[in-house]
Amino acid sequence: MNHHFLLIVHLLSAAIWVGGHLLLVFAYLPKALREKNQRIILEYEKKYEPVGMPALALLVITGVMMAYKYGVSIENWFHFETSVEKVVSVKLTLLLITVLFALSAQFRVIPKLKNNADKLSEMSFHIITVTVIGVVMLVLGSFVRFGGI
Ligand code: HEM
């Protein structure tokens, strides 16, 4: 598939993934914490999930396809040897951490948060970490056009 097309899909997905999380961190999370109302977060998550998860899946698919076009295939991953391969390997590591946080939020935190506003601080930690990782992934991606890291 055309690299430019993959990049456009990658950028649109990044806008949805990072933008959605920044909106949560800067608009919904402070309101939920101020009002001690976990429902604000739970309702946002419910609406965002059907858009956010496909965006993350597209980021991985288009990212891996572009990595192949840069000559970074699966047998080179995690060697941390060449500049673009380093970007790809760090991004894949951060992706794994994101997935672990998403699973922890989904199966550990959210079920308890439904009946207990005290879990808001743990949920905030999950949300802020995933958002910061998303921003770091975006910044890392921007390095590729300058030759990698
Ligand atoms: C939260 C997840 C991710 C975000 C927010 C993200 C964001 C970005 C952004 C903003 C760019 C810059 C494109 C440009 O310079 O115009 C980029 C490039 C890139 N990303 Fe990602 N990315 C993510 C995940 C991934 C993953 C999982 C991979 C692959 C393993 C990947 C591989 C790449 C590659 C190879 C490029 C270079 C494309 C090019 O400049 O031609 N990304 N990414």
CA of 141 to the centre of ligand 1 (A): 4
Query: Left if phi > 0, otherwise alpha if psi is -120 to 50, otherwise beta: which for 77?
Result: beta
Give Cβ neighbours of residue 53 (< 8 Å, ≥ 6 apart): none
CA of 31 to the centre of ligand 1 (A): 31
Looking at ligand 1, which atom is closest to the CA of residue 98?
1
Rg (CA), the chain: 17
Answer yes or no: is pLDDT of 91 > 90: yes
Q: Give the C-alpha separation, 137 to 2, whole Å.
A: 22
Q: Give the C-alpha separation, 59 to 14, whole Å.
A: 7
Question: Hey, how many other C-beta atoms are within 10 angstroms of the C-beta on 105?
Answer: 19
Q: Give the C-alpha separation, 63 to 102, whole Å.
A: 20
Question: pLDDT tens-digit profile of 120-143?
Answer: 999 999 999 999 999 999 999 999
67 in ligand 1 pocket by Cβ < 6 Å?
Answer: yes
Question: pLDDT tens-digit profile of 34-65?
Answer: 999 999 999 999 999 999 999 999 999 999 99
Nearest to 21 by CA among 149, 142, 136: 136
